[in-house]
Amino acid sequence: METGYQDIPGTYVQDGEHCRKGYHLNQCLMTLNKAHCREAFRADEAAYLAGFKLTEPQRDAILKRQWLEMLRLGGNVYFTFKLAAFDGMTMQDLGAAMSREGMSGDEFRKMMLDGGRSIEGNRYVSEWEQN
């Protein structure tokens, strides 16, 4: 289904299709709210993930901490942050890791305090393909 928001950079709208795609991914990440689940995950991440109906790309994205890929694969940013918090990351660290520029948490924080990312070159995904 074609919608107007596919061409907006970094936009993964949680519409029905996207939510269905990420259901098992998000259910898995949500378990990290529980201490015994975090301990099981810490002991053997791959074995823990095998207990969920994840796609291979979803499993790989979790294991490799590919934050934007998790969002592309249906992940909800709030559930994805459960994993980031498990890794000791702040929300600013996660924002930086998801940044196209690959900046540090401190650089991301400063950018946000200074008014955010410039709209120039960030208006449409199709602009990225032209550059």
3-class DSSP string for 81-114: HHHHHHCCCCHHHHHHHCCCCCCCHHHHHHHHHC
> Which residue matches tokens 């909800």?
76
Region class of 88: left (phi > 0), else alpha (psi between -120 and 50), else beta: left
Q: What is the per-residue pLDDT across 72-120, written as a single tens digit (0 to 9) for each?
A: 999 998 899 999 999 999 888 888 888 766 788 888 888 888 887 776 7
Domain boundaries, the chain: 12-89, 90-131
**Where do the H-state alpha helices sit in the chain?**
16-30, 35-43, 45-49, 56-64, 67-72, 77-86, 91-97, 105-113, 125-130
Match domain 12-89 to its CATH number in 1.10.40.50, 1.10.700.10, 3.60.15.10, 3.30.530.20.
Answer: 1.10.700.10
Give the pLDDT band (50/70/90) at residue 10.
low
Q: Is the pLDDT of residue 64 over 70?
A: yes
Q: Is the pLDDT of residue 42 over 90?
A: yes
Across the chain, mean pLDDT equals 85
